[in-house]
Amino acid sequence: MSAEPFAIGLLGHGTVGKAFDELLEERADEIERFNGRRPVINGVLTRDRGRFDEVLAGADLLVELIGGLEPAREYLLRAMRAGKDVVTANKQLLSQHGEELFETARAHNVRLRFEAAVAGAVPVVRVLEESLSATPIERIHGIVNGTTNFILTAMARGSTYQEALVEAQRVGYAEADPSDDVSGRDAAAKMAILARLAFGSPVHLDDVRYEGIEHLHADDLEYARELGLGLKLIGTAERRQGGLSVRVHPTFLYGGHPLATISGAFNAVTVESNAITELTLSGPGAGGRQTASAVLGDVVSVMTGGARPPAPPLALDLIEDVDSAFYLHLDVADRPGVLAAVTKVLGERDVSIKSVVQHGMGERARLVMVTHQVLESRMRTAVAEVAEFDFVRSPPRAIRVIEEEFL
């Protein structure tokens, strides 16, 4: 006699939900072959289809692919309180109500899996939770938003920000309202989840400082090339001064950094530890089928008993003011003494200059420099003072630089 099917309640049947349904159909034979039980969808809930209580009652596990905070939060909590394992792809929910969900999973001894919530098909959650569970992690850098990486890749090839955004919308990588992506908020939600996983400390989306790519100029990419740098929207979670710093901002990378070559809509995450030096995972960060494959991987992991309830939190202080090297772009009048005046102000704030490129253009000139490491607060003060000079023609732009190259 064959074993009982493994019943999956599916909440949401949109881009990812439909793709999950199709992929499950294709893979059910193979999963049954190595697992002994056949996964089947026993109920579907959308806005106008199904009833939550009925879907829950008949399910061994619930897959949540509705998105947003409510009713997804309530459904996941009710499912876990009823003793059901759950799988979700919902980064908004995990980055804002993660602790409540983790605590409920622990209290009811059920599994809460969320591989697809960060970096789509890239299996970074599982690698952090399982493969690297014995490795003390120092730092994670990630390109965790495909839309912005697509736009920056197009800008590096000569497009303006607007042209690149329109192209991203045309090919379906950017939504009609792209604000969550281009502001850095989507990446911040994913970094909050990664930071919780890597360091065990609860991080809410509101704890993550983020800047987007809306104010970048094609100029920045061009000058950066002269300095041997590429520009990416990078999320960072790292141990700093006994605490934890989590942030997202446009960042210049030297060509030898593993994230420097990630182009188009791909995602990638670099994990750094003294024990392993550096490990980088990359792949498609979104798309219905790609995301569905991560969701189905989570389902199979629960079926095979490979996943544990989440670990209890371990609070670390969040550090806001961290040091970094900076790229500084100044649009100045081309007259004698400008460079000396700028370097004097920077020096007074402990900002020391590593390299400078100067382009004279008649009345105007552009001064582009890379600094050594300096505390962000000092850099901001110095930039505000430089902006006061009458020879500075437009607001200065300061962008962080990652100096490691792993050559």
Contact by Cβ (8 Å): 141, 402: yes
Catalytic residues: 190
Tell me how far, at minimum, the Cβ of 121 lies from ligand NAP, in Å: 9
Instruction: Decide if residue 145 touches ligand NAP (CB under 6 A).
Output: no
Burial class (CB in 10 A: 0-12, 13-18, 19+), 337: exposed
List the one residue out of 263, 283, 251, 290 whose CA is nearest residue 164.
Answer: 263
Neighbours of 149 (CB within 10 A): 27
Place of tokens 């090339």: 225
What residues between 67 and 106 interact with ligand NAP by CB under 6 A?
67, 71, 89-91
H or E segment and range at residue 13: none
Based on the shown chain and the rule CB under 6 A, indicate whether residue 13 belongs to the binding site for ligand NAP.
Answer: yes
Structure tokens given for 27: 């893979």
How, if at all, do strands 6-11 and 39-45 pair? parallel
Q: Does 66 bind ligand NAP (CB under 6 A)?
A: yes
**286 binding ligand NAP? (CB under 6 A):** yes
Query: Which one among 4, 22, 25, 46 touches ligand NAP, defined by CB under 6 A?
Result: 46
Using the contact rule CB under 6 A, the part of the chain among 26-34, 42-50, 124-132, 355-363 near ligand NAP is: 42-50
- Cβ 119 to ligand NAP, closest distance in Å? 9
**If binding is defined by CB under 6 A, does position 58 make contact with ligand NAP?**
no
Does residue number 120 form part of the binding site for ligand NAP (CB under 6 A)?
yes
CB of 65 to ligand NAP, least distance (A): 4
Kindly report each contact of residues 200-206 with a partner whose C-beta sits within 8 Å and lies 24 or more positions away, as own/partner. 200/311, 200/313, 200/314, 201/244, 201/313, 201/314, 201/315, 201/316, 202/98, 202/99, 202/313, 202/315, 203/95, 203/237, 203/244, 203/246, 203/318, 204/95, 204/96, 204/98, 205/92, 205/95, 205/96
* Nearest approach, Cβ of residue 47 and ligand NAP (Å): 3
If binding is defined by CB under 6 A, does position 124 make contact with ligand NAP? no
Q: Does 184 bind ligand NAP (CB under 6 A)?
A: no
Among 8, 65, 382, 386, binds ligand NAP (CB under 6 A): 65
Which of 9, 17, 123, 178 binds ligand NAP (CB under 6 A)? It is: 17
| Only segment of 28-36, 41-49, 326-334, 363-371 that touches ligand NAP (CB under 6 A) | 41-49
Closest CA to 144 of 203, 100, 91: 91
Sites of contact with ligand NAP (CB under 6 A)? 12-17, 45-48, 65-67, 71, 89-91, 116, 120, 286-288, 291
